[in-house]
Structure 1
């Protein structure tokens, strides 16, 4: 989404696409997103941008999503949902914008699509990284995230970190474009030996079938996907090591660099939701817990 994604998702959660799910639903809405592109507000030219005022006038904001559970996706009933779209509904309503509309795309196309006016804001749980901060501006994170592994029941190889995976020569898998690719490589795992699968469901299947020993993803996606598995479990969440230090990722909404007024107004409402506890209530149905709530800022994460 998730995921980086949550990746180095260019690589949450790197380069490439993010975790993919409900692709049929996303494809079904692709035409809708394309058809509505003419309604996307154009680039602002005044300092700070005037997008907020224009969105209020038209009454709708278009959200770039990447079809990734639980971050932003189209459910089986064709409804836009996920932690980011549901949060967007609340915040944009408070900002005087009543309607949100999805524009489904590949994760790797989110930032280019935003900057080329295909939609107004990225609502995909995108990880805030220094590289991305050079291309867009971020709201403060609405969640923080640790990593976790999907392993066979009982965790027979006793895998709890990327270093464990390397030392025990475990067969390792992760998702397309996931930041976990870089985390494993930094720990010493050979990138060409990593099995890349589409998403966490494919990762679970690979573990259950014995094709790999471990699949790495975010804590929220791994613990949700194993709930109905009789063969696999999720490990305790942990901080990956980045640059020799334990690292915590944070996911946030992204805006065009000219639109600081909209970003700042969004942040004001986000802080209110954090203070009241309503943010957790909004995110909880998607598997987020108190442990994922955060006071991290975009400024901190942009520094790396």
Structure 2
């Protein structure tokens, strides 16, 4: 985020997490009752609580203290059309999003979360709003010539990625030992680690890596690539997550996503956050859950 030091960003996220988390714990109203008509309950309350993880550009707090990102901005539009006028952010670590959703700390995960088999066993996903490849943050000039996870293994590069990121499994699938992976808070911490020489490479989505290196004179993002798992190339898709009991809410959300995808409105909302037309998708949650 331009104009804000990484340490200030982390401090602001921590403050937001504390305040929003306290508000969520205090909200012991009808939305905390599992099952039933989730959409009806949220309409009655007039507020939906969104779990975000402070990751640019998916869901984060900007330098003015406003919560934004592709997923929250999309949520504002869709939930308004579903009769819910207010969205309330609840910030947490990425790895706490699914546990927080299932323990009623918020109503929906609004963080552009990748849809995969493991996560589908825990939550319901809407169809993805985007598809994405991976990319690396490396030192300028890419001195170790790192373009894939296999390159990392071959060169014995010091490898890092984010808390709860899908890239952990992709690196392990390529042959990296999980105990050798450095886990950092987010892509900003990853950029700092690469620039300082603490690690050789940080793996993230192509969108986050190209966004975070824009202001850097010491690091760059590699070309997007598909991870290979069990001999197959992986193209990921990110979407909203709902509790397993909230099928009707997920289905209503999906209906709106499809309308916006067909009309081009979905891309118009995502484009200001750095998405390209190539990252729009017709993939479904069902396909990605397999």
Q: What is the rounded CA distance, in whole Å, between the counterparts of 1:78 and 1:63 in structure 2?
A: 16
Worse overlay, 230-239 or 171-180: 171-180
Worse overlay, 259-268 or 56-65: 56-65
Say whether the 8 Å CA contact 1:44–1:50 is kept in structure 2. no
Say whether the 8 Å CA contact 1:146–1:219 is kept in structure 2. yes
Note closer, same or farther for the CA distance 1:196–1:302 as it changes in structure 2 (3 Å cut): same
Task: Name the counterpart of 1:35.
Answer: 23
Q: What is the rounded CA distance, in whole Å, between the counterparts of 1:282 and 1:21 in structure 2?
A: 27
Q: What is the rounded CA distance, in whole Å, between the counterparts of 1:40 and 1:83 in structure 2?
A: 28
- Give the deviation of 1:109 after TM superposition: 2.2
- Give the deviation of 1:160 after TM superposition: 1.1
Q: What is the rounded CA distance, in whole Å, between the counterparts of 1:99 and 1:231 in structure 2?
A: 41
Q: What is the rounded CA distance, in whole Å, between the counterparts of 2:274 and 2:8 in structure 1?
A: 16
Note closer, same or farther for the CA distance 1:31–1:198 as it changes in structure 2 (3 Å cut): closer
Task: Name the counterpart of 2:142.
Answer: 155
- Give the deviation of 1:76 after TM superposition: 2.4
Q: Deviations over 1:205-233 (max 9, x none)?
A: 22222333222111011000111111221
TM (norm. structure 2) is 0.90
Task: Name the counterpart of 2:245.
Answer: 258
Count of equivalent residues: 281
Note closer, same or farther for the CA distance 1:194–1:211 as it changes in structure 2 (3 Å cut): same
Say whether the 8 Å CA contact 1:165–1:172 is kept in structure 2. yes
The structure with more helix, counted as a fraction of residues: 2
Q: What is the rounded CA distance, in whole Å, between the counterparts of 1:213 and 1:109 in structure 2?
A: 27
Task: Name the counterpart of 2:163.
Answer: 176
2:49 counterpart (62, 71, 82): 62
Note closer, same or farther for the CA distance 1:150–1:32 as it changes in structure 2 (3 Å cut): closer
- Give the deviation of 1:103 after TM superposition: 1.5
Note closer, same or farther for the CA distance 1:249–1:122 as it changes in structure 2 (3 Å cut): same
TM (norm. structure 1) is 0.86
Q: What is the rounded CA distance, in whole Å, between the counterparts of 2:205 and 2:188 in structure 1?
A: 13
Structure 2 regions of 5+ residues with no counterpart?
Answer: 1-6
Say whether the 8 Å CA contact 2:114–2:166 is kept in structure 1. no
Note closer, same or farther for the CA distance 1:297–1:33 as it changes in structure 2 (3 Å cut): same
Q: What is the rounded CA distance, in whole Å, between the counterparts of 2:74 and 2:63 in structure 1?
A: 20
The structure 1 segments of at least 4 consecutive aligned residues displaced by more than 4 Å after TM superposition are: none
- Give the deviation of 1:21 after TM superposition: 8.8
Structure 1 regions of 5+ residues with no counterpart?
Answer: 1-19
Task: Name the counterpart of 1:125.
Answer: 112
Q: Deviations over 1:25-61 (max 9, x none)?
A: 333333244235224613354xxx4111121122111
Note closer, same or farther for the CA distance 1:107–1:211 as it changes in structure 2 (3 Å cut): closer
2:231 counterpart (222, 231, 244): 244
Answer yes or no: is 1:226 the counterpart of 2:216: no
- Give the deviation of 1:126 after TM superposition: 1.3
Task: Name the counterpart of 2:200.
Answer: 213
Say whether the 8 Å CA contact 2:30–2:41 is kept in structure 1. no
Task: Name the counterpart of 1:16.
Answer: none
- Give the deviation of 1:283 after TM superposition: 1.3
Q: What is the rounded CA distance, in whole Å, between the counterparts of 2:214 and 2:159 in structure 1?
A: 21
Note closer, same or farther for the CA distance 1:257–1:196 as it changes in structure 2 (3 Å cut): closer
Answer yes or no: is 1:297 the counterpart of 2:284: yes
CA RMSD of aligned residues (A): 1.9
- Give the deviation of 1:100 after TM superposition: 0.4
